[in-house]
Structure 1
Amino acid sequence: MISRRRPGSPNRKTNSISFHFKLTKPGKSVKSLFAAPREIGGASPSPAPVSFSAVPPLPEPTSTKRKASTSAPSSPTTIRPPRKRPALIQRVLHFDTTKRLTLRPLKALGSPTAGFRSFLTTNEGSDIDLGSGSDRGISVSSQSTSSLASGRGNTRAPGGRERDARDARRVLRTIVEVKEGKYKVKKGGPRGKDLIHRTLRYHGYQLLWKELQKSENKEILDYVNGRKFHFDYTRRPFKGDKQFVIHMPSSFHEGMAGQFNDRIVKWLGNIENGTLCTTAGSRKGETMKIASHISSTLAKRVKYTEPRNDQLEPDLSFKHRFAPVAGLLVEVAWSQSNLQLPDRARRYIEGKKGLIRTVVGLNMNNIYRGGCRATFSVWEAEQIGNKWKLATSEANKEFINEKGEPVSGCELHLTLRDFICEKQVAKFGEIENVPLKIPSAQLYDFYKSAFEDHMMDKAMEEIEGVKGVVNEALKTFLDIEKVIQEQSTEDTDGRTVMGKTELVNVKTMLEEVEKKISDMKKALKSVEEKLTDTMEMVKDEKIEVENEVTELEKKLAEVRATAERIVEPAPKPKRSRIPSAFKRASKK
């Protein structure tokens, strides 16, 4: 901020306090004009501010050895000599003396852990909810207290309601684009971006669902509630994220989660048939029965009420038949540079109050960004008193090193109890806690298979895109030939003649085709970088498209040669105006 202090005037930041004492000193008669400062919540109102015109002339300055407590410049009773510009004390915020400032706690919303909020309450009884800066989206300090509105229900400020409605419309439009396949993924790394982040506060989230409930949006609602659309909604997201996050389809997630699922399902099957059980009798039978009741689900939504109807979608979950929610979740972090696996694990475990017992996180973000390193973490639910908290069993254990090789001796350890919540285990009889060990070499095979599938899908998408551009270029050639046929003529010298405008249009279309061919070559080069020895069918598709692009180049050369032979018509000779002048003169 640019200071507007008059030259020679005191500087409150740099000048000594004794300098202020020399300039300002309240007179004895002034003290009687001010009442004692009122306290917050006091019953007695403060007197009206005193006008400078009512203050008697100031006496001569006294010694600067007076106590700071009686004449400090920040004291509310300090009076300074009149200035050309308003004194600093006049800029201090004064509360309206007709209103009383009180503080009261807000009752817990939904649960005893919702906490308290401070409210400003005036005598008229209007509540001003300061709320959370992240929820409001508007700085409290930038508004006057009379403009602040509650963040609940219909009492939101008009600007906040308009913003929420605008955000809800944007999210709905994005959902429609994703459903119709028209959303263009922005490039955010070496292999694109598989997440769409949108700002959508809770009130806007409610508006979105109200809009989806309308009869004209039934098809969109069915899509959102279906298995093909995946999204997270967290009212208080972690740093760097937005509230509403759409997960774009990713073959890597499906491949990695599918490989992990196959390994665990096979292990559960061996427990069910008794192959892995080392005990006998009723204990073995109970263990086999529990394993038979555990099944897996891909991308099963997990909803929790803290803080307000939030939901997350893990990549893989395992649920016992009689349990309300899944006991073990698997998260594959891929392309989510801001994704914090520990935060998601905490939301799962604490949000469901321990019903989710175990969360396994596979962090592949480094590979997505072009590196080679990968780690895994395991979190478990721990009961402390009456609350369930997150406990870390394994934290960022490396199973693929920086050279892209599996780490020797590294294993992911799980047990049968990790798939069942503690409350449900207590209702069962004695069971054998059968261990599961997945070595790093096997996890590396999961990754390699999933990554090859991912690259194969990306390569096929690019090949299909090139095929579409080839068809567009062929249509452009037909348009060029049509223009040449209809707009060109032959002059007496046997040359092909065409108007200037039409000829410019033909050359412009040829330049567009040339640019498309250049883009197609770049796309095919990108496809070549993704191919491996196992992608024989993709290689065949690539060769076929390359031949089509080569034919386009030949066609472009032929049409360009034809266009080069076309000339513009010769300009018509100008008629002389002199003979006409002689004719007019002769008639006269």
Structure 2
Amino acid sequence: MSLLKPRQTPERQSQPFDHDELSSPNSNRTVAVRPSPIKPLKSLGRILFGPFLVSPSPSDTTKSDKEEEDETQSISSSISGPMNHTKQSRRKTILASFKNSRERQSARVNRVDRLIRFIEEIQNEAYVGEKEVIPRQLFPKDYIELLIEVDERDQEFQHYFHHGLRYEYRESIHGKEQFTILMPSAFHISMQTDIDGRLLLWKNDIIGNKNYGIKSKTAAGKIRSKRDQKMEFESKKTLRGDCSFSYREDHYTYPPLIFEVAWSQTTDKLEKKAMELIEEGAGQIRTIVGLDFSKTYSIWDTIRDQIQNPLEPKRGPFTAFVWRVVFDKDGKQVTNASGEPRVRKNNHIFCDDNGTAHLAEKLQLSLRDFVPPRVIKAERWDEVKDLHDVKLELDASTLLGYFDDALIDQKHEDENSESKKERNRQEMTKRTRDRAARRKADAEKEEKRWTITSMIEVGGHRLRKLQGRT
């Protein structure tokens, strides 16, 4: 019977085939020649390839385990070296991706948990701070997690988050200011109250004045004041206006006119917010009035003690800005070459950098500023003269009076805040001392437990035996 020759490996091809080797007692080997099909083993994205292997029987002791391992690695490398390297790189990439995913999820949970705790602190009036604008990093997926977490809380917290908490959200995967909590100061609230009150008196004066036409009275009657109005835009941004004046039409979502008060915010951020509202409003928000007191805020610590001083009254700088969107004859927003809304800007300096009041300065808004352009077109009010002639005039005396009242309110809040801070510091000190006293008492109690007898018992059989001898 003829014997079939095993497939020649490179090593065998270099030597002549010896038939006597098969019948030699010393060469009693079980030769298992594995064919070359690639056997992929997948685990977590990993692929291993089985190379040609020659497995000796247990009686073969001519090679050590180390030598066979080296030979196997050599063969494996010679056959699938580049491919193994590629698959190992892929495996490392996939594992790194899984690790990064876990880290991102952990970071997301931490960001949401920290924000929830901070909101609870504000809700419980335990937060003591001077910032009106508090930014927090919150990526889009974080925001979804936050909303889910809020829905799982009690009704009191849900109501506070959706109706009591003032916040803005700008969806972005960059930066650290996606979620902004707004903490209005006493100055801020005072200015909002005075502006709202002035607008209400003006509106009622139009309605009750026989010199104005029915169309003007109709338009004035539909103006609604909404302080801190929450606006959700198609870009998934959530913004708020300090004093918003909407028009009573269900199909108009955004207010035509908004007042923004800048106390602790800078002038640049005030202008950025105004342009952001105009762009997001897409023609519905037509006029933004910015009352800029940021330069007074920057010197507030130096002038605070002089507030209400009859001998030497003190004010800081105060400028008002008005941004008006340009519309065409069809009531559509006009854009420039880059696609941005075309805006007209006016400045009104009521107090200069030295605190000197400009008593001749005044800010004027017309009834047209409060009416959406589409309503004007739909009602054919383009020729209604009163829409332009009926003016809301905010002169220097009026606005400086609001300014002085707001400064007084802010001073009182600061004094109350200092008292609250001092109470918190005292309470914190007391808690720290109580905690230290408890720890000291627990340590002394634990020390008393370790008596000599206890030490002997802990020592084991030998010490107990020695004790018995004594």
Distance 1:442 1:145, change over 3 A: farther
| CA distance in 2 between partners of 1:237 and 1:435 (Å) | 44
Distance 1:325 1:237, change over 3 A: farther
CA drift of 1:441 comes to 2.6
CA drift of 1:157 comes to 3.8
| CA distance in 1 between partners of 2:275 and 2:230 (Å) | 16
Q: Is residue 348 of structure 2 the alignment partner of residue 397 of structure 1?
A: yes
Q: Is residue 105 of structure 2 the alignment partner of residue 178 of structure 1?
A: no
Q: Which AA in structure 2 matches 1:207? A: E
Q: Residue 219 of structure 2 contacts residue 371 of structure 2 at CA under 8 Å; is this kept in 1?
A: no
Q: Which AA in structure 1 matches 2:149? A: E
Q: Deviations over 1:290-327 (max 9, x none)?
A: 10111211111111121xx2111111111111143211
Q: Residue 245 of structure 2 contacts residue 258 of structure 2 at CA under 8 Å; is this kept in 1?
A: yes
Q: Is residue 189 of structure 2 the alignment partner of residue 254 of structure 1?
A: yes
Higher relative contact order (CA 8 A, sep 6+): 2
| CA distance in 2 between partners of 1:268 and 1:243 (Å) | 37
Q: Is residue 188 of structure 2 the alignment partner of residue 232 of structure 1?
A: no
Match of 2:242 among 303, 315, 322: 315
CA drift of 1:385 comes to 6.5
Q: Is residue 131 of structure 2 the alignment partner of residue 193 of structure 1?
A: yes
CA drift of 1:276 comes to 6.2
Distance 1:436 1:469, change over 3 A: same
Q: Residue 328 of structure 1 contacts residue 418 of structure 1 at CA under 8 Å; is this kept in 2?
A: yes
Q: Is residue 306 of structure 2 the alignment partner of residue 370 of structure 1?
A: no
Q: Residue 334 of structure 2 contacts residue 342 of structure 2 at CA under 8 Å; is this kept in 1?
A: no
Q: Residue 267 of structure 2 contacts residue 294 of structure 2 at CA under 8 Å; is this kept in 1?
A: no
Q: Residue 410 of structure 1 contacts residue 440 of structure 1 at CA under 8 Å; is this kept in 2?
A: yes
| CA distance in 1 between partners of 2:197 and 2:204 (Å) | 10
Tell me the percent identity.
25
| CA distance in 2 between partners of 1:392 and 1:378 (Å) | 10
Match of 2:158 among 221, 232, 236: 221
| CA distance in 1 between partners of 2:108 and 2:121 (Å) | 20
Structure 1, gaps ≥5 residues long:
1-95, 100-123, 125-142, 150-155, 186-191, 278-283, 480-500, 503-588
Counterpart for residue 459 of structure 1: 415
Q: Which AA in structure 2 matches 1:299? A: D
CA drift of 1:147 comes to 6.3
| CA distance in 2 between partners of 1:260 and 1:238 (Å) | 36
Q: Is residue 380 of structure 2 the alignment partner of residue 380 of structure 1?
A: no
Q: Deviations over 1:322-342 (max 9, x none)?
A: 143211111101112486122
Q: Is residue 179 of structure 2 the alignment partner of residue 244 of structure 1?
A: yes
Please provide the CA RMSD for this pair. 3.8
Query: Structure 2 matches for 1:255-294, cutoff 5 A?
Result: 255-274=190-209, 277=212, 284-294=213-223
Distance 1:254 1:425, change over 3 A: same
Q: Deviations over 1:131-183 (max 9, x none)?
A: xxxxxxxxxxxx9899679xxxxxx9443333222211111111011111222
Match of 2:288 among 359, 366, 371: 359
Counterpart for residue 31 of structure 1: none
Q: Residue 350 of structure 1 contacts residue 388 of structure 1 at CA under 8 Å; is this kept in 2?
A: no
CA drift of 1:453 comes to 1.3
Counterpart for residue 449 of structure 1: 405
Match of 2:373 among 422, 437, 445: 422
Other structure's SS at 1:351 match: helix
Other structure's SS at 1:160 match: helix
| CA distance in 2 between partners of 1:145 and 1:407 (Å) | 67
CA drift of 1:230 comes to 0.6
CA drift of 1:251 comes to 1.5
Other structure's SS at 1:340 match: helix
| CA distance in 2 between partners of 1:166 and 1:470 (Å) | 30
Q: Which AA in structure 1 matches 2:298? A: R
Counterpart for residue 551 of structure 1: none
CA drift of 1:247 comes to 1.4
Q: Residue 327 of structure 1 contacts residue 418 of structure 1 at CA under 8 Å; is this kept in 2?
A: yes
Match of 2:394 among 434, 438, 444: 438
Query: Structure 2 matches for 1:524-539, cutoff 5 A?
Result: none
Counterpart for residue 137 of structure 1: none
Q: Residue 170 of structure 2 contacts residue 179 of structure 2 at CA under 8 Å; is this kept in 1?
A: yes
> Scaled by the length of structure 2, what TM-score is found?
0.60
Q: Is residue 146 of structure 2 the alignment partner of residue 208 of structure 1?
A: yes
CA drift of 1:261 comes to 1.6
Q: Residue 346 of structure 1 contacts residue 389 of structure 1 at CA under 8 Å; is this kept in 2?
A: no
> Scaled by the length of structure 1, what TM-score is found?
0.49
Other structure's SS at 2:241 match: coil
Q: Which AA in structure 1 matches 2:412? A: M
Q: Residue 140 of structure 2 contacts residue 173 of structure 2 at CA under 8 Å; is this kept in 1?
A: no
| CA distance in 1 between partners of 2:131 and 2:226 (Å) | 25
CA drift of 1:467 comes to 7.2
| CA distance in 1 between partners of 2:151 and 2:356 (Å) | 50
Query: Structure 2 matches for 1:14-29, cutoff 5 A?
Result: none
Greater C-alpha Rg: 2
Stretch moving more, 402-411 or 412-421: 402-411
Distance 1:97 1:380, change over 3 A: farther
Q: Residue 230 of structure 2 contacts residue 238 of structure 2 at CA under 8 Å; is this kept in 1?
A: yes
Other structure's SS at 1:184 match: coil
Number of residue pairs matched? 319
| CA distance in 2 between partners of 1:252 and 1:454 (Å) | 5
Counterpart for residue 483 of structure 1: none
Q: Is residue 275 of structure 2 the alignment partner of residue 346 of structure 1?
A: yes
| CA distance in 2 between partners of 1:145 and 1:345 (Å) | 45
Query: Structure 2 matches for 1:482-493, cutoff 5 A?
Result: none
CA drift of 1:218 comes to 3.0
Task: Identify, as 1 or 2, the structure richer in helix.
Answer: 2
| CA distance in 2 between partners of 1:423 and 1:148 (Å) | 52
| CA distance in 2 between partners of 1:287 and 1:273 (Å) | 11
Q: Residue 296 of structure 1 contacts residue 316 of structure 1 at CA under 8 Å; is this kept in 2?
A: yes
Distance 1:460 1:269, change over 3 A: same
